[in-house]
Amino acid sequence: MAHREFFCGGPLFFCSFVQDSHFPPVDSERFPLGLEDDLMTNEQREKITSLRHQGYGYTAVANSVGLSKDSVKAYCRSHGLAGEKAKSHSLAEVPTQLCLNCGKALIQLPGRKQKKFCCPECRISWWNAHPEAVKQKAVYTFTCQECGKEFTAYGNAKRKYCSHSCYIAARFKGGDV
Residue of 106 and 96 predicted with greater confidence:
106
Cα separation, 170 vs 147, in Å, equals 9
> pLDDT value at position 169?
92
Span 7-49, pLDDT tens digits: 555 555 555 555 555 555 555 555 554 444 457 888 888 888 8
Conformation bin of residue 160: beta by default, left when phi > 0, alpha when psi is -120 to 50 = alpha
Cα separation, 100 vs 102, in Å, equals 6
pLDDT band at 145 (very low <50, low <70, confident <90, very high): very high
Using the predicted structure, report yes or no on whether residue 90 has a pLDDT greater than 50. Answer: no
Q: What is the mean pLDDT of the chain?
A: 77
